[in-house]
């Protein structure tokens, strides 16, 4: 088993703190990307809405989430050693493949797991977007972020 990514928030407060931290990063990324696309000031003001910045922030946060990468046996062993039960697991993908990526969200008593055969990076990205959409978005947007 290997772990990829940097954020593994244990608490809602820690997740919110990390989400706040990536806000300025998202703004810089959007600003630099629009410079590379030769946006002038008027076009920037017209096209870069708060929703664009929020989407960049959401994607940045999600892509930095720590995920475990392993085969099905490693996932099963991790789950058995964890404080989560089978009911806490949200599974994405086919049951007929050999590998899994997973991310635990202790404050939501949830584990999101995605299966894959040959593309761990694609599976990790899918998993991260699902974890954000299924759990983190609700936590952040309920807080007025």
Q: What one-character-per-residue DSSP string does 99-128 give?
A: EEEEEEEGGGTEEEEEEESS-HHHHHHHHH
**pLDDT reported for residue 19:** 96
C-alpha to C-alpha distance for 102 and 30, rounded to whole angstroms: 29
Per-residue tens of pLDDT for the chain, all 145 residues: 999 999 999 999 999 999 999 999 999 999 999 999 999 999 999 999 999 999 999 999 999 999 999 999 999 999 999 999 999 999 999 989 999 999 999 999 999 999 999 999 999 999 999 999 999 999 888 655 5
| Contacts with 127 (C-beta within 8 Å, 6 or more apart), sequence order | 67, 92, 101, 102, 103, 112, 113, 114
The encoded tokens of residue 22 equal: 């990536």
Residue given tokens 């202790």 in the structure block: 106
**pLDDT reported for residue 144:** 54
C-alpha to C-alpha distance for 33 and 44, rounded to whole angstroms: 11
- Spatial strand order in the sheet of 2-4: 2-4, 67-71, 99-105, 110-116, 89-92
Could you tell me if 131 and 62 are in contact, meaning their C-beta atoms sit under 8 angstroms apart? Answer: yes
Domain ranges of the chain: 2-142
**pLDDT reported for residue 140:** 86
135: DSSP letter: I
**pLDDT reported for residue 139:** 86
SS3 at position 80: helix
Could you tell me if 65 and 8 are in contact, meaning their C-beta atoms sit under 8 angstroms apart? Answer: yes
């Amino acid at each position: 088993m290997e772990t990829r990514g940097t954020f593994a928030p244990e608490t809602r407060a820690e997740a919110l703190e990390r989400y706040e931290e990536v806000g300025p990063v998202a703004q810089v990324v959007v600003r630099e990307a629009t410079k590379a696309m030769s946006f002038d000031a008027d076009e920037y003001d017209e096209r870069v809405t708060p929703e664009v910045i929020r989407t960049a922030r959401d994607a940045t946060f999600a892509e930095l989430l720590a995920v475990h990468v392993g085969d099905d046996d490693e996932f099963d062993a991790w789950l058995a050693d964890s404080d989560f039960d089978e009911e806490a697991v949200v599974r994405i993908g086919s049951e007929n493949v050999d590998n899994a990526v997973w991310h635990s969200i202790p404050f939501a008593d949830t584990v999101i797991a995605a299966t894959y055969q040959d593309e761990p990076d694609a599976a990790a990205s899918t998993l991260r977007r699902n974890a954000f959409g299924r759990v983190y978005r609700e936590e952040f947007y309920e807080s007025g972020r």
